[in-house]
Amino acid sequence: MKKRIISPIIQNIKIAHGTYKMTLFAPYIASNVTPGQFVHIKIPRDSSLLLRRPISVNGVDKNNGTIDLVYRVVGKGTSLLSKLKPNELDLDLLGPLGNGYKVEENIKSLWLVGGGCGVAPLKLAAQKWSNLDITAFLGFKNKSEAYQIDDFKNLCSQVFISTDDGSLGEKGFITHILIKHISELRPKLILGCGPISMLKILKQISERYDVPCQISLEERMGCGMGGCFVCSCAIGIKDSWDYKKVCTDGPVFDSREVIFDEWP
């Protein structure tokens, strides 16, 4: 169940080029969030920024009641967030929102596939299901934009890295590495998050090799609670689909049900 929470800022640090990690005191969210869910943050100090910003939960510490949010500075709102200092003010949150990834008890091997900002929610998945045999495939634009690789190495059995320019890991897209291994190391489930171009390919690969796959969609949102339809996407099968709301029906969907060609 979502709640409105006023959360003190514990830490707000730069972890890569243009990317920050904010730690908030939010015991309710820390205890109730599922990997893939997000919070909606009200941007302080600027009344012109009416819309909240959706940010996925990157990690939790239930003992200390804290949550980590990883975000990229892409506009005025996130730029303001990046300048906030610990104990400077409390943030107004709604959360946890949306649905999350689902891993059944019979699943023993799990692949996490993330690109860019989409790597962030997968770290919480690695944290929650660290008892499983997890392989992570993490793609970034370049070395300066890579983050939390050591965290994934501590939580996963194996980690593959790629960058577009080859400055870290293998040169190319992370899906190129994935397809090299999937035929021989067939996982029981894939969890993915990243840009649409990556998710389209991930959907194709998972269907070709008949591997169940859940993907988290990164869409612009307005209200974050299903009232405005800004984040609508096409969900269903080719001849029978409807528009669903990423904020409430998602952001996580079975990849077989996502019809990218019919997106508004």
Q: Are residues 7 and 64 in the same domain?
A: yes
Q: Are residues 28 and 86 in the same domain?
A: yes
Name 229's Cβ contacts closer than 8 Å, sequence gap at least 6.
243, 245
Q: Are residues 194 and 131 in the same domain?
A: yes
pLDDT value for 229: 54
Fill in the amino acid letter for 5.
I
Q: Are residues 155 and 237 in the same domain?
A: no
Q: Which residue has the tokens 């969907």?
A: 253
Q: What is the CATH number of the domain that holds 234?
A: 2.10.240
Q: Are residues 127 and 194 in the same domain?
A: yes
Mean pLDDT in order along the chain per 10 residues (264 residues): 92 98 98 96 82 93 98 94 94 95 95 97 98 97 98 98 97 95 90 94 95 85 54 68 71 85 54
- How would DSSP label each residue in 68-130? EEEEE--SHHHHHHHT--TTS-EEEEEEEES------TT--EEEEEEEGGGGHHHHHHHHHTT
Q: Are residues 208 and 235 in the same domain?
A: no
Which pTM was predicted?
0.92
pLDDT value for 8: 97
First-last CA distance in the chain? 29
Q: What is the CATH number of the domain that holds 117?
A: 3.40.50.80
Q: How far apart are CA 200 and CA 205, in angstroms?
A: 9
Query: 82 burial class (0-12, 13-18, 19+ CB within 10 angstroms)?
Result: middle
Tokens of 193: 């998050």
Q: Are residues 203 and 244 in the same domain?
A: no
Q: How far apart are CA 56 and CA 143, in angstroms?
A: 22
Q: Which residue has the tokens 């291994």?
A: 181
Q: Which residue has the tokens 């171009």?
A: 197
Domain count for the chain:
3
Q: Are residues 186 and 203 in the same domain?
A: yes
Q: How far apart are CA 234 and CA 220, in angstroms?
A: 15
Domain membership of residue 194 as a residue range: 101-214
pLDDT value for 85: 96
Q: Are residues 235 and 209 in the same domain?
A: no
